[in-house]
Structure 1
Amino acid sequence: MSTSGTIFVTGGTSGLGYYASLALAKQYPDYHLIVASRTDKDGAANSINNATGHKNVEFLPLDLSSLENVRAFIADYASKGNPPIKYLLLNAGLQFPNGVEYSEDNIEKTFAINHVGHALLFYLLRPRLAKDCRIVITASGVHDPAQKTGIPAPIYNSAEELAHPTAESAKYEGRQRYSTSKLCNVMWEYALHRRLTDSKKGDYNWSVASFDPGLMPGTGLARDAPAVLRFLFLHVLPYLIPLLRLAISPNIHQPKDSGAALAKLTVSPDGNGKYYEGLKAIKSSDLSYDTRKQEDLWAWTLKTVAKDEAERHEFEKVYPSA
């Protein structure tokens, strides 16, 4: 196994994550590349290894909806002795278009997977990150109402309300919960970047960016949508992308193209603390710059995922203790 470094991709077994992992595996054959997802039913790791002719990609099962599973995953990962993580792609994401669903931790499931599980994963992986680790978070343009994506605009009152919807907010569409979770990805990136910049970092030089891959028909994002919509998204719209770009937005892509862009952004030395549409740094939504909301999200997340006050304090320091 390679000892040059590790590339770690959540949601790396399908869609955007698969193609980003494929591109990175081709570019870095001497790195150990981990694709971490709930399942690898299509054999993504083997598929990438076969496509590249290398054997550097490994699948590891990870359920981001369960804080206990994330902790168990990290305990097992720590025992493997993998080289430090040079590139960390927090990419996995799901949406639940119908009524509110809850994780085993009693957290609304979209928020639990798209933000909370990833946050705990990051906090626990910190001692495993290389001194110059690059962290890229997959967000989405749906977090910005100004982009007129057709998805309901995000509503962020508090992280607590997202985790445990009130009688009123439980009535929101599942797509709205998704757009809000993507807003959380961007706000958490900004809060993290601020701490990386302000903290005493010693030898550390981590960078972080968030990424909008655009609309990607044909991915598994619509796996829980009604059957007709799921069929259209998976089997019809991918063939209409040129038309959709003309009629709706140029930010509509094949998963392989967005995956290649994600891979390029990951290894880019630029763009610390920025939000990207593809490979172009752009302004994120007005709401995403609200530092009060960023800090509410950060504080609630730490309080929720830390097992005790000592761990919360350790996570708050961002860089791991020596």
Structure 2
Amino acid sequence: MSYKQTILITGGTISLGYHVALNLARQYPDYQVILSSRTDKEHAADKINQALGQKNVSFLPLDLSSTSNIRHYAKNYSSLGYPPIAILLLNAGLQFPDEMRKNDEGYELTFAINHLGHALLFHLLTPHLFPKCRVVVTSSGTHDPAQKTGVPDAKYTTASELAHPTPETAQNEGRQRYSTSKLCNVLFTYAVSRRLKAQGSQITINAFDPGLMPGTGLAREYSPVLKFLWFRVLPRFLPVLRFLLKTENIHTAVESGASLAWVASGKEMEGKTGCFFEGRRERESSEVSYEVGKQDDLWEWTVRTTCSEGEEYLNLKV
């Protein structure tokens, strides 16, 4: 079958990513839907195809912690002849609650996966983007101290320092590195959106907060006790959690998957860019996320890091 366009989802094999993939594959049976993560142990692509009686979902392995793997992925992707990407969901994410980790290239691992890997992938896929491509970056309410999520407050210093922490900041709690990486997602979304609009591009990019989702794969690096609580106990008590934490922004992966699908494809979203969504509700992000200086610092470091000599990021000037 010849497909009209492509939908590409990072981290699309489990939890939020799986359910948004299921929603979009159902909605667009004539689109190629690609799930990309390190592995597909649960055979998510096959399960979605079987559930829908379709054949439009496939899996391509991608390791966002490795820039060399991302470049290999992009080169392979280019050779496969897929139609233009109409929806790009930069969704995958991890947190490491214990000591600081680095990838093989020396970048702090949370920042490498949650920001740098996606930024490089976005850059390399530029030639394949549909002129009206919709890009959605999965962030988190944890980026905003005003939300009082219980996660240590995000703290943006410089992109260079986040990529290569000093001996002092290397001692920061892993959850704080996670919330800061989610702030980077928002800063980067706004930086890219401003530049796309200035160039007259019709590509849109927005940030999405799925809310707290007990039972999802985000906690797979936790201790056995915390894993038990996260996967087995908390999912049974969502109404209690909403009451105790005084927020409605606690959902199942099914609910948040449907919301992310709406942000990515809803008719109401046409032309909307540079926005932050909590589920389907547009809202203000954190105060610091609107600081242009921090947006530009992250943008400029990212461009220098991801672009080879002579390249321009998204065909845009720094």
RMSD over aligned Cα atoms = 1.1
- Equivalence for 2:214: 217
The alpha-carbon deviation at position 154 of structure 1 amounts to 0.6
Instruction: Return the alpha-carbon distance in structure 2 between the equivalents of residues 145 and 268 of structure 1.
Output: 29
Instruction: Return the alpha-carbon distance in structure 1 between the equivalents of residues 125 and 4 of structure 2.
Output: 18
Find out whether 1:190 has 2:184 as its counterpart. Answer: no
Instruction: Return the alpha-carbon distance in structure 1 between the equivalents of residues 103 and 303 of structure 2.
Output: 18
Maintained 8 Å contact 1:6/1:87: yes
The alpha-carbon deviation at position 104 of structure 1 amounts to 1.4
Aligned partner of 1:18: which letter? Y
SS of 2:125's equivalent?
Answer: helix
Instruction: Return the alpha-carbon distance in structure 2 between the equivalents of residues 237 and 155 of structure 1.
Output: 28
- Equivalence for 1:284: 285
- Equivalence for 1:306: 307
Aligned partner of 1:265: which letter? V
Q: Deviations over 1:281-320 (max 9, x none)?
A: 0000001001101100001111111222x02xx216349x
Aligned partner of 1:24: which letter? L
Instruction: Return the alpha-carbon distance in structure 1 between the equivalents of residues 289 and 316 of structure 2.
Output: 21
- Equivalence for 1:273: 274
Q: Deviations over 1:251-288 (max 9, x none)?
A: 00000100010001100242311000000000000010
Aligned partner of 2:287: which letter? D
Per the normalisation by structure 1, the TM-score is: 0.95
Aligned partner of 2:296: which letter? E
Maintained 8 Å contact 1:45/1:57: yes
Map 1:217-236 onto structure 2 (within 5 A): 217-236=214-233
Instruction: Return the alpha-carbon distance in structure 2 between the equivalents of residues 56 and 268 of structure 1.
Output: 20
Aligned partner of 1:129: which letter? L
Aligned partner of 2:208: which letter? F
Query: Which runs of no fewer than 5 residues in structure 1 stay unpaired?
Result: none
The alpha-carbon deviation at position 200 of structure 1 amounts to 4.5
Map 1:1-322 onto structure 2 (within 5 A): 1-201=1-201, 205-248=202-245, 249-269=247-267, 270=269, 271-308=272-309, 310-311=310-311, 314-315=312-313, 317-318=315-316
Aligned partner of 1:153: which letter? D
Maintained 8 Å contact 1:86/1:134: yes
The alpha-carbon deviation at position 96 of structure 1 amounts to 0.6
Point out the more displaced range, 270-279 or 108-117: 270-279
SS of 1:61's equivalent?
Answer: coil
Instruction: Return the alpha-carbon distance in structure 2 between the equivalents of residues 307 and 318 of structure 1.
Output: 14
Instruction: Return the alpha-carbon distance in structure 1 between the equivalents of residues 8 and 314 of structure 2.
Output: 22
The alpha-carbon deviation at position 161 of structure 1 amounts to 0.8
SS of 2:110's equivalent?
Answer: helix
Aligned partner of 2:29: which letter? P
Q: Deviations over 1:150-171 (max 9, x none)?
A: 0000111100110011011111
Alignment: residue pair count: 313
Aligned partner of 1:80: which letter? L
Q: Deviations over 1:89-119 (max 9, x none)?
A: 0000000111110111210000000000100
Instruction: Return the alpha-carbon distance in structure 2 between the equivalents of residues 37 and 255 of structure 1.
Output: 17
Identity of aligned residues (%): 54
Per the normalisation by structure 2, the TM-score is: 0.97
Instruction: Return the alpha-carbon distance in structure 1 between the equivalents of residues 316 and 153 of structure 2.
Output: 31
Maintained 8 Å contact 1:141/1:147: yes
Maintained 8 Å contact 1:2/1:56: no
Q: Deviations over 1:108-136 (max 9, x none)?
A: 00000000010010011011011110000
Aligned partner of 1:267: which letter? S
Aligned partner of 2:155: which letter? I
Query: Which runs of no fewer than 5 residues in structure 2 stay unpaired?
Result: none
